[in-house]
């Protein structure tokens, strides 16, 4: 599992400058953040822009195999969400991103049953499944801390409803630590081969703080790593830590040295 960091760690830089900054700090893999995805889409044709950025990434020795699709996508309540997401998918595929993280729409649905929430989401997700059929890319549904997508069984049920081999699951360790619907290792082992992307983040259980490991958070990362080995997870070990990016650039650079040490320690567990 290669060390990876969500590119939004350098949210105030262009995608290219973020790549170069990571490389200068010894980081050679990243998840493309929604913020940087939006910046790229503003440049024009998704495929042309994606291929150009993909060449830049490759030429500089960077790997971006995981990317977060439009963070604000509301695939149920916004009728334009699916058409817009198709542009994001085309951009990411052109870059060379294989695993694309997506949130189900479980927002403002307090009055609906879990079954109704899933019925509504399944319709939009099937439209996306049709769009990517036969392509070597995957949409990875992320566990959230909201009703309807906070249990591992709910995510697996959505995969079954969509019925596409191009769909998988993303584990966000911070989200799971907030809801505690399963132990980290149990979630991973239950998902098994469907796990295609991960967000490594810590918190103290009270909020989605997106912290680096081994501070004031309570995620059992040893359990996470051992379970990832058990299921043969083949993706990147990706840190999603926006709680750590409110610092001057030189300080953020130094924090990556600590992050690298946590990665090395965990890989030995």
In the chain, how many H helices and how many E strands? 10, 8
What tokens were used for 260? 């690298």
Classified as helix, coil or strand, 102 is strand
For residue 110, what pLDDT is reported? 87
Distance (Å, whole) CA 7 – CA 9: 5
Q: Are 71 and 104 in contact (CB under 8 A)?
A: no
For residue 230, what pLDDT is reported? 97
Residue 140: pLDDT band with limits 50, 70, 90: very high
142 pLDDT more than 90: yes
167-172/138-142 β-pairing: parallel
Could you read off the pLDDT of 76-128 as tens digits, one per residue? Answer: 999 999 999 999 999 999 999 999 999 999 998 989 999 999 999 999 999 99
pTM over 0.75? The answer is: yes
Classified as helix, coil or strand, 122 is helix
Exposed (0-12), middle (13-18) or buried (19+): which is 27, by Cβ within 10 Å? buried
Classified as helix, coil or strand, 27 is coil
> Residue 133: in which H helix or E strand, if any?
none
Distance (Å, whole) CA 222 – CA 207: 21
Average pLDDT rounded to a whole number, residues 245-249: 95
35 pLDDT more than 90: yes
For residue 18, what pLDDT is reported? 98
Average pLDDT rounded to a whole number, residues 137-142: 98
Could you read off the pLDDT of 156-209 as tens digits, one per residue? Answer: 999 999 999 999 999 999 999 999 999 999 999 999 999 999 999 999 999 999
Complete domains list, the chain, with CATH: 3-267 (3.20.20.150)
Could you read off the pLDDT of 219-233 as tens digits, one per residue? Answer: 999 999 999 999 999
């Amino acid at each position: 599992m290669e060390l990876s960091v969500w590119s939004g760690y350098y949210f105030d830089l262009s995608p290219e400058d973020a790549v170069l900054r990571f490389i200068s700090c010894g980081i050679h893999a990243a998840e493309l953040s929604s913020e940087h995805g939006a910046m790229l889409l503003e440049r024009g044709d998704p495929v042309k822009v994606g291929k150009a950025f993909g060449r830049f990434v490759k030429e500089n020795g960077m790997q971006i195999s995981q990317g977060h699709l439009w963070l604000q996508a509301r695939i149920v309540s916004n009728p334009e969400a699916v058409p817009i997401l198709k542009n994001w998918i085309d951009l990411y595929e052109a870059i060379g991103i294989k695993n694309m993280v997506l949130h189900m729409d479980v927002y403002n649905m307090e009055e609906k049953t879990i079954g109704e929430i899933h019925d509504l989401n399944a319709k939009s997700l099937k439209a996306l499944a049709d769009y990517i059929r036969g392509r070597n890319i995957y949409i990875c549904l992320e566990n959230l801390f909201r009703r309807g997508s906070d249990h591992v069984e709910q995510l697996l049920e959505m995969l079954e409803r969509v019925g596409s081999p191009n769909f998988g699951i993303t584990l966000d360790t911070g989200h799971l630590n907030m809801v505690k619907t399963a132990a980290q290792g149990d979630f991973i082992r239950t998902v098994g081969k469907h796990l295609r992307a991960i967000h490594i983040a810590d918190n103290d259980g009270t909020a989605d703080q997106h912290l680096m490991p081994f501070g004031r958070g309570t995620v059992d990362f040893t359990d996470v790593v051992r379970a990832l080995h058990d299921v043969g997870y083949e993706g990147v070990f990706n840190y999603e830590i926006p709680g750590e990016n409110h610092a001057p650039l030189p300080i953020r650079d130094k924090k990556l040295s600590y992050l690298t040490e946590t990665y090395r320690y965990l890989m030995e567990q």
